[in-house]
Amino acid sequence: MRLDIISIFPEYFAPLGVSLIGKARERGTLDVRVHQLRDWAHDVHKTVDDTPYGGGPGMVMKPEVWGEAIDDVIGDGGPRMIVPTPSGRPFTQELAQELAGEEWLLFACGRYEGIDSRVMAEYGSRLRVDEVSIGDYVLAGGEVAVLVMVEAIGRLLPGVLGNVRSAVDDSFAPGAMRNLLEGPVYTKPPVWRGHEVPEVLLSGHHGKVARWRRDQALRRTVATRPELLAEIDAETLDKHDRRLLDELAFRVPPEDVAN
């Protein structure tokens, strides 16, 4: 996968030289190119921003500089373009999966109050452009959002995750564990500062371990993310699940019974 990132702060992307993503780059699985937007500014001050039309606080990124930068980076190719913004569509595991299937992604990192909207309009007629948000809080610019997205996408690429166990049973992965958080995990020693590892995990009884883990996942989801459980497919809840949720006073839709 080729990945281009345009930003006025290329130093933000130093972490992409490390760990999973860094190794994927060394192996050639990932081709990451970070570009300094100011290289396409014309004046001596390398200006990339200007005052907003209509007034108001802050500054807006100038369209001409972005246009020249994007034109040069894409040449006659057609990457999918991602623009982080607090008003974008939510970045979810589902979108990460979809983007991991693309050959070429271009990330445009805004700063200040964002990028002149005509840039998205212009490239929206030539490329697939998505304005995306990583969550409901306000960052100072798109760089950290891009790091988050590149890590989430990168670990889904074939051969990037060190361990073959992979992405399939993650909390937000589509499939069986979707809408259920992961439960607690433990390793040796069996007692640490007086805290014991739950006995069932030492029992070697795989059926009991699986049931206990499922209970923990359900309890944790009810406690911290009940809205995820509210959307769970009722068909995926067995008799034990229903009894536990009942004990937790969590309302689930009734089992479908004919007539």
Minimum distance between the CB of residue 57 and ligand JQB, rounded to whole angstroms? 9
Dihedral, 69, 72, 77, 82 alpha carbons, nearest 10: -10
* Closest distance to ligand JQB from the beta carbon of 185 (Å): 28
**Torsion angle of the four alpha carbons 229, 235, 236, 237, in this order, in degrees rounded to the nearest 10:** 70
Check whether 136 is labelled as a binding-site residue. Answer: yes
Interaction of residue 138 with ligand JQB, rule CB under 6 A: yes
Interatomic CA distance for residues 171 and 174, integer angstroms: 9
CA 175/CA 169 separation, integer angstroms: 8
Catalytic residue status for 241: no
Residue 155 falls in the annotated catalytic set: yes
User: Residue 135 Cβ, how far from ligand JQB at the closest point, in Å?
Assistant: 5
Whole-number Å distance between alpha carbons of 1 and 95: 16
Strand partners, 104: 2
Helix (H) / strand (E) containing 255: none
Active site residue 64: no
Judge whether 170 counts as a catalytic residue.
yes
Q: Rg (Cα) of the chain, in Å, rounded? A: 23
For the CB of residue 158, give the shortest distance to ligand JQB in the complex, in Å.
26
- Of 82 and 217, nearer to ligand JQB (C-beta) is 82
Per CB under 6 A, 139 contacts ligand JQB: yes
User: Which class for 9: exposed (0-12), middle (13-18), buried (19 or more C-beta within 10 A)?
Assistant: middle
**Residue span 84-123 as binding mask against ligand JQB, x where in contact by CB under 6 A, dash where not:** xxx-x---------------------xx-xx---------
* Catalytic-role residue among 4, 25, 49, 155: 155
Q: Which residues are catalytic?
A: 86, 113, 155, 170
Binding-site ranges for ligand JQB (CB under 6 A): 84-86, 88, 110-111, 113-114, 132-135, 137-142, 145
* Known binding residues for S-adenosyl-L-methionine: 110, 134-139
